[in-house]
Structure 1
Amino acid sequence: MRLRKIKGADEAVAASPYVIQHSEQAPLPWKSLFKNEHPLHIEIGMGKGRFLMELAKANPQINYIGIERYTSVLIKAIHKMEADPLPNLYFLCMDAAGLEQYFAPGDVERIYLNFSDPWPKDRHARRRLTSVVYLKHYDAVLSPKGQLEFKTDNEALFDFSLESIKASGWKLLGCSRDLHRDPDMNQGNIMTEYEEKFSAQGNPIYKLIAAR
């Protein structure tokens, strides 16, 4: 489904103090920007921002970056931040393929992927955020003990992701094919808007945790 363009979204994102704008300084000095030494977690494809904002509220000792490539989606997260600002959260408007432009090796302690576009056609497999191609980008910025957490309601994408994890030589630390019925994996789970929607429809939620 084509994303509906919101008039003025590009300009609002470019002017927002909650969005890290493009800079000639790369990678970015995150500790200076946040003015602390806290660990850095990022969500790729953050959508409207609910998941990450709840995480940031619950964990003030962690810094968060929400990454969303579409301004018409990111503007909705910006409106939420304007109503309820959080000092440990900023946004980036970019494609995940450009992670190394903003993050140095070892900068990131955890990466969250929630209900990413499944790109169901085989010829688009490289575009999936859990493909071997993107795992290389994550590997370039994660700390030695960094982790990747992935949730989806799409079983085919989940199976593909498990294969990518194995093919890339990563370690699978946790796996559930019915997250909300798994007391261990579901502990402390924060639901996204999509997660609530899909769960209400009776769809099981799949989750994996992986490390290099």
Structure 2
Amino acid sequence: MRQRNKPWADEFIESHTDIIVPEPLEKRGIWKEVFGNNNPVHLEIGTGKGQFIVGMARKFPNINFIGIEVAKTIIVRAAQKVKDAELPNIKLLHVNAADLLEIFAKDEIAQLYLNFSDPWPKKRHEKRRLTYHPFLKQYEQVLDSAGEIVLKTDNQGFFEYSLVSFSRYGMQLEEVNLDLHEVNDPDNVMTEYEKRFSAKGQPIYRCRVKL
């Protein structure tokens, strides 16, 4: 869905550099210093309005969380949630996931989350899918040797495509869950989309993948 322009978004971003990090390319390799501790760094690509990352940061205070969001009108919504929650272990980046290797050094990320990514269902748009193999190559570079990719989606076609893509790339499937909420995982934090779809009885798919 196209988001309405928010004229105040630029001003908000400029006045909240403690949350939305300016010049993130300059922080490559020193993200733990940005947080001021030596805790592991987890990355969410496509952080949306911030419900997941705020919930995770609250649940796991000894983990640093970075959320990437390319849509300006959306990242300011996430930043407002982070501001209201007063959580020091979250940073947001207004960048494109295609620039991942310019933002993070090798082995800098301990865990990576892909939550309800755009499935880009048309074949001609395959290269835009966040589980297309060039993206997987980037993830392999920034994740440490014990790192995992955790993917959640409501889209069965995208889920099946991603499982095949992970396998063909040589990644190891640690979990394949066809109805996450039947498992009742106490550590699961729902996104906005997940809450909406699960309320309608729609299954949520999740997989965990290791390098």
Superposition TM-score, scaled by structure 1 size: 0.95
Q: Determine the C-alpha separation between the residues in 1 that align with 2:25 and 2:163.
A: 37
8 Å Cα contact 1:26-1:101 kept in structure 2: no
Partner of 2:13: 13
Question: Paired residue for 1:3?
Answer: 3
- C-alpha deviations, 1:65-121, integer Å up to 9, x for none? 011111100111111122221111110011111111111100000001111111111
Stretch deviating more after TM superposition (24-33 or 187-196): 24-33
Gaps of 5+ in 1: none
Structure-1 residue corresponding to 2:188: 189
- Trace 1:143-182 onto structure 2 (pairs within 5 A): 143-182=144-183
TM-score by length of 2: 0.95
Aligned residue identity for 2:95: M
Match of 1:200 in 2: 199
Q: Kindly report the root-mean-square deviation, in angstroms, between the aligned alpha carbons of the 2 structures.
A: 1.3
Distance 2:201 2:126 in 1: 27
Between the aligned partners of 2:196 and 2:190, the Cα distance in structure 1 is 10
Q: Tell me how far 1:132 sits from its aligned partner.
A: 1.0
Moved more, 79-88 or 58-67: 79-88
Unpaired runs of 5+ residues, structure 2, are none
Q: Which moved more, 1:34-43 or 1:2-11?
A: 2-11
- Is residue 24–residue 93 contact of structure 2 (8 Å, CA) maintained in 1? no
| CA–CA distance in structure 1, aligned partners of residues 122 and 28 of structure 2 | 34
Q: Distance in 2 between matches of 1:53 and 1:178?
A: 23
Counterparts of 1:46 and 1:25 in 2: how far apart (Å)? 21
Mapped partners of 1:28, 1:14: distance in 2? 23
Matched AA of 1:7: P
Aligned partner of 2:5: which letter? K
Task: Measure, in 2, the Cα distance between the counterparts of 1:2 and 1:23.
Answer: 26
Who is 1:127 aligned against?
128
Q: Separation in 2 of the partners of 1:91 and 1:55?
A: 14
The ranges of structure 1 where at least 4 consecutive aligned residues each deviate by more than 3 angstroms after the TM superposition are none
